[in-house]
Chains A and B, each alone.
Chain A
């Protein structure tokens, strides 16, 4: 839910937060309407994106995930462009949305939002259209990430895709001699008392449970883990409630989970590839796998603040951060997959075998098996309105973990 759980929660439902200040101040809230599929137009859709990049303003203020603005690639950028970078690290998607209130408050230029926060920011009117023609490397991005539905609405881009990664099953090889093939190891009662599990403290775990149920209980008819009817939702919640006795801890920071595995407090759980590589580097006996049911995943983008004070430096940054070399550096540092398809060989130059380790060379079918996070909305994609919205997900999650 917090701090480390960067990719939490999107939920256009929660646009209320971005505007809560205004609502509570007596100003009318921005109507959020239904989701992307309903044809609602974001408030800033009419704003004209700039057609050229002017002289840099000399500074650039970012809201980013920790590890997304490392000196290795920020320093060269500053030298090349003269834009001095200030970075504010956010602890969760909720924090990002909150900090971006009022279009970045005239303070921030760009935010490295995850797919879950994107629509909140777009429909909240906090970000504005981006002209991708000014970003040469945009064409090198994997096709499915050039205009993904989480940052592009009706052909209007609100930012540029950055990096992504799967939520893998991490396990201790001392406990599991062979790789588990099913997520059941973190749910099944038969492991009670034998293994200690850790999963992210994040309402989006309900989608992980739903993904598992889609295979283990086909009768429920789960097709999209982010679009659950009341029956499906209740089944997922029941599964997670039954899982609780197995849980050693719901982890909050990436470093939490590293601690849990190092000390042996937990031996199996949901993780990012980052934890796996960090643990392996510290000689902890772990491996990761994607079980037969598939996995959920995140995808991040740099979105342009509506009231960005330094738009030219912001464009310079988007140009720079999408180039193969910088993409490779960030991917290797963070342990995630670069969006630029040319980054793979450069990754291997930085760290042998890293392209393979972070799945940068997988075919498109692999990426399709990952269910990227999206906001649970009350309006399902099929137009029906019986899906459970995200505010109820968080409430249920609080109840499960409480």
Chain B
């Protein structure tokens, strides 16, 4: 019993250490957003709120933020659709090409973004498609599919096929099985896959450079601002604001996931 308590204590200690690791750099970013100097060194000599004012009035930042959100939303929806279709297909399939599909989907993130970016750019140019928000979405969807796919396929591997069979045996239609059995089972995987996909899209620079038109996404703006270092504190302000803003959708998603966990565990019972 004592050993068990000790093990629990150790685990929680680990959790706290990991949290410190995860948030150390974030806190650094927040702190430097109040630094008057645009060179990040400690100790901070002079504190200021002026960068917040600069960022608030920066029209480029607003436009970039809106474009990023739009592109990430669309790419996530498409990736959710295509990624889960691929996951279901691969899960059902027993053919030699199964691993090929897995490899194919993982390629856009395994290859340097520059390759994906230049390859897509060439295709768009060749096909006469002018670069716009749509080409950004196409590029992002391409590398976001794998995120959804991997999450869903891992979930399906852990799910018993008997569940779907039982549903069918009990006379449920395909759509009923999907609605009442499949969807609840994979819901959490979809939510987490969708969030990761959204994050990946929202933060992507390299592929976007080659698939975006003249309008900048937020990471592209950030990259520009970082290059010369003049606007580094403004970048920190923007990042801080985005993190705070994103708390809301993430908390909602986490709540959804939690509720689904609950309902999923009730469907879990019959398996055993």
* Interface residues of A, Cβ cutoff 8 Å to B: 3-4, 20-22, 24-25, 27, 61-62, 66-67, 86-91, 95, 98-99, 101-102, 105-108, 253-255, 258-259, 262-263, 274, 278-279, 282, 284
Contact = CB atoms under 8 A, between A and B. Distances in A.
A102 B125 contact: yes
A107 B216 CA distance: 13
Contacts of A67: 228, 230
Contacts, number: 92
A284 B40 CA distance: 13
A106 B121 CA distance: 13
B39 A259 contact: yes
A107 B131 contact: yes
Given A67-B228, A254-B227, A88 B214 contact: yes
Nearest to B215: A86
A98 B118 contact: yes
B131 A89 contact: no
Top 7 closest pairs, chain A to chain B, by CB? A21-B122, A255-B229, A89-B224, A61-B214, A86-B214, A66-B227, A66-B224
A67 B224 CA distance: 9
A55 B225 CA distance: 33
Nearest to A275: B229
A4 B38 CA distance: 17
A108 B130 CA distance: 11
Contacts of A102: 125
Interface in B96-128: 118, 121-123, 125-126
A91 B223 contact: yes
B130 to A, nearest CB: 6
Contacts of B225: 66
Contacts of B232: 255
Interface of B: 37-41, 118, 121-123, 125-126, 130-131, 209-210, 212-216, 220, 223-230, 232
Nearest to B227: A66
24 contacts: A20-B118, A21-B122, A21-B123, A22-B122, A25-B122, A61-B213, A66-B224, A66-B228, A89-B216, A89-B224, A89-B227, A91-B227, A95-B209, A98-B210, A99-B210, A105-B125, A108-B214, A254-B228, A255-B229, A258-B39, A274-B228, A278-B38, A282-B37, A282-B39
A22 B228 contact: no
B199 to A, nearest CB: 22
Contacts of A95: 209
B224 A24 contact: no
Contacts of A89: 216, 220, 223-224, 227
Given A21-B125, A101-B125, A107 B41 contact: no
A59 to B, nearest CB: 9
B130 A105 contact: yes
A107 B227 CA distance: 24
Nearest to B41: A262
Q: Which of B123, B223, B230 has the most CB of A within 10 A?
A: B230
B181 to A, nearest CB: 46
Contacts of A91: 209, 223, 227
B121 A101 contact: yes
A61 B216 CA distance: 11
Contacts of B125: 21, 101-102, 105
Given A25-B126, A105-B131, A253 B227 contact: yes
A99 B209 CA distance: 8
B229 A263 contact: no
Contacts of A262: 39, 41
Given A89-B216, A105-B131, A106-B130, 16 more contacts: A61-B214, A66-B228, A67-B230, A86-B215, A87-B216, A89-B223, A91-B223, A99-B210, A101-B125, A102-B125, A253-B227, A255-B227, A255-B232, A259-B39, A259-B40, A274-B228
Contact of B212 (A4, A24, A88, A255): A88
Contacts of B212: 88
A4 B227 contact: yes
A21 to B, nearest CB: 3
Given A89-B220, A255-B226, A107 B213 contact: yes
B39 A107 contact: no
A262 B37 CA distance: 12
A239 to B, nearest CB: 29
Contacts of B41: 262-263
B244 to A, nearest CB: 25
A108 B213 CA distance: 8
B229 A254 contact: yes
Nearest to B224: A89
